[in-house]
Structure 1
Amino acid sequence: MNDSRSRTSRSFDELVAEAEEAPVEGWDFSWLDGRATEQRPSWGYQRLMSQRLGRARAALDIQTGGGEVLAGAENLPPTMVATESWPPNVDTATRLLHPRGAVVVADADEPPLPFADAAFDLVTSRHPVTVWWDEIARVLEPGGTYLSQQVGHSSVFEVVEFFLGPQPEENRRARHPDDARRDAETAGLEIVDLRFERLRTEFYDVGAVIYFLRKVIWMVPGFTVDAYHDRLRELHELITTEGPFLAHTTRFLIEARKPSNR
């Protein structure tokens, strides 16, 4: 997919056309290999998730995307269910997870979750767009665990503000881990672990930014190349003359437990 020529020698139109044609189904970012880098959180979410899944009896992965993260787990429990709302991802996840014995359920990502009370001893989710804490608490059995890696506040806001301009404080603070703690506890869950990290991210060409914004559609709502053509050309010139565009992702790990019945 990537050209061996230096990206700085490739034209704006070439890079744009390539990024517009790239498929964005699923949650696999391998198209960005060699075009962008993102520092990974120190805790290793997939390893932690895999460990928990290996000990679970019945587990639910919410907003599984294309199922790529869940499929990477070494062991799945006897009952493994995943939910996803976007139809192309539902198809991708079904093809990937059915051979592992997991069931993929198309779900609108609105309460209620289509499961009975206390149906699972483990609920997981990587980078959920929304978190319905009351529903997570409801479907967890007493003593059950929720494990999630989430996008934190002001993540990649260097990119967001390049296109949208300075954002108000309420936007910059959205998805703060302190709010996740509060909402989890309000839903009756006990926080076991909460960690936050700010991580270096670099985009090496404008095509990488286009692909990222086409895939992560909530970063710049309504993003299209036509709508932001002039700004994208400015970004191309900036990268060409000054080097990679630097941004910072934020991530937090949260583990919460539903209290056992007394």
Structure 2
Amino acid sequence: MKKDKQFVSFIDHINNKFTGWDFTYITRSGRMNNDMLSWSYGSKALYLMQNAKSVLDMGTGGGEFLSTLQPFPNAIYATEGYKPNVSIARERLEPLGVNVVPYHEDDKLPFKNDQFDLILNQHESFCAREVRRILSDKGTFFTQQVGGLDCSRINECLGVPLNKEFSKWDLKTASDEINKNDFNIVFSKEEFPIQRFYDIGALVYYLKAIPWQVPHFNLETHMDGLYKIHQIIQSEGFFDVEQHRFIIKAVTK
């Protein structure tokens, strides 16, 4: 299939390296935008942080989000499982007093029993039993998760099926797991906001940053599907996909 000049230009322009967990390369320029949720994870996390004595931020990425929640309590830790991000997180967070700890298994966290009174988790996998082990009595687990149907239209257009196991990850499944491990859920909600891409280059940058959306993604294999999405953008001015988000605040019994 012959590709037009604009498509080729956007594909050739993809040369920015993604680091940490920062999408400003395509959001600051308005090439990708997201609809608003009816809640703010950041506002709620900031309030919880100011009333905590010992905090863990699970899956901190490059520490971009956690660094905005200052002032910190004396005891604060962050985990990161993606090796390239560990050094980025340490450079950003350790001068602020945060202990950055690499880890590899959700069910074997390198912490003591009852060590934290607040655990934050934004878009990171977790084992509810292990979270409960390291959380003190009356402690709070606060998480915003990416649901299993996230951006499924991308997969449909590229002819790549969603991960069958992950596609079942939703508010009910997560809540059931949390409730089974001595928690009381005090707040929860699930929504499907729109994420909009205005050029095919922004979408490719996004897919390279989140390899789990389309496993083994590469330009050669998925070129025809990408061009079909490019044609949608040419026709409609944008390419919309539904995100899948849910939030849970739970307190230990």
CA distance in 1, matches of 2:117, 2:187: 17
Q: What corresponds to 1:30 in structure 2? A: 24
Q: What corresponds to 1:84 in structure 2? A: 80
CA distance in 1, matches of 2:210, 2:168: 16
Q: Secondary structure at the match of 2:221?
A: coil
Q: Secondary structure at the match of 2:48?
A: helix
Question: TM-score w.r.t. structure 2 length?
Answer: 0.92
CA deviation map 1:20-76 (0-9, x unaligned): x22112111111121011013221111111111111111001111111111111321
Q: What corresponds to 1:4 in structure 2? A: none
Tell me if the contact between 2:106 and 2:130 (Cα under 8 Å) persists in the aligned partners: no
Give matches, 1:236-247, under 5 Å: 236-247=230-241
Q: What corresponds to 2:107 in structure 1? A: 111
CA distance in 2, matches of 1:166, 1:81: 37
Is 1:49 paired with 2:16?
A: no
Tell me if the contact between 1:82 and 1:103 (Cα under 8 Å) persists in the aligned partners: yes
Segments of structure 1 that go 5 or more residues without pairing to the other structure are 1-8
Q: 1:132, CA displacement in angstroms?
A: 0.9
Q: 1:164, CA displacement in angstroms?
A: 2.7
Q: Secondary structure at the match of 1:72?
A: helix
Q: 1:237, CA displacement in angstroms?
A: 2.3
Give matches, 1:128-147, under 5 Å: 128=124, 130-147=125-142
Identity %: 31
Q: Secondary structure at the match of 2:117?
A: strand
Tell me if the contact between 2:20 and 2:62 (Cα under 8 Å) persists in the aligned partners: yes
Read off the aligned partner of 2:116 and give its amino acid letter. F
Q: Secondary structure at the match of 1:68?
A: coil
Read off the aligned partner of 2:50 and give its amino acid letter. G
Q: 1:153, CA displacement in angstroms?
A: 3.5
Q: Secondary structure at the match of 1:28?
A: coil
Give the stretch that moved more between structures: 39-48 or 204-213. 39-48
Question: Using a 3 Å threshold, how does the CA distance of structure 1 residues 10 and 92 change in structure 2: closer, same or farther?
Answer: farther
Read off the aligned partner of 1:63 and give its amino acid letter. G
Q: What corresponds to 2:152 in structure 1? A: 157
CA distance in 1, matches of 2:244, 2:18: 22
Tell me if the contact between 1:164 and 1:220 (Cα under 8 Å) persists in the aligned partners: no
Q: 1:10, CA displacement in angstroms?
A: 6.5
Tell me if the contact between 1:84 and 1:109 (Cα under 8 Å) persists in the aligned partners: no
Read off the aligned partner of 2:185 and give its amino acid letter. I
CA distance in 2, matches of 1:104, 1:134: 22
CA distance in 2, matches of 1:57, 1:88: 29
Q: Give runs of ≥4 in structure 1 deviating > 6 Å.
A: none
Question: Using a 3 Å threshold, how does the CA distance of structure 1 residues 12 and 176 change in structure 2: closer, same or farther?
Answer: same
Q: What corresponds to 1:201 in structure 2? A: 195
Give the stretch that moved more between structures: 50-59 or 225-234. 225-234
Q: Secondary structure at the match of 1:77?
A: coil
Question: Using a 3 Å threshold, how does the CA distance of structure 1 residues 101 and 166 change in structure 2: closer, same or farther?
Answer: closer
Question: TM-score w.r.t. structure 1 length?
Answer: 0.89
Q: Secondary structure at the match of 2:220?
A: coil
Question: Using a 3 Å threshold, how does the CA distance of structure 1 residues 131 and 172 change in structure 2: closer, same or farther?
Answer: closer
Q: What corresponds to 2:213 in structure 1? A: 219
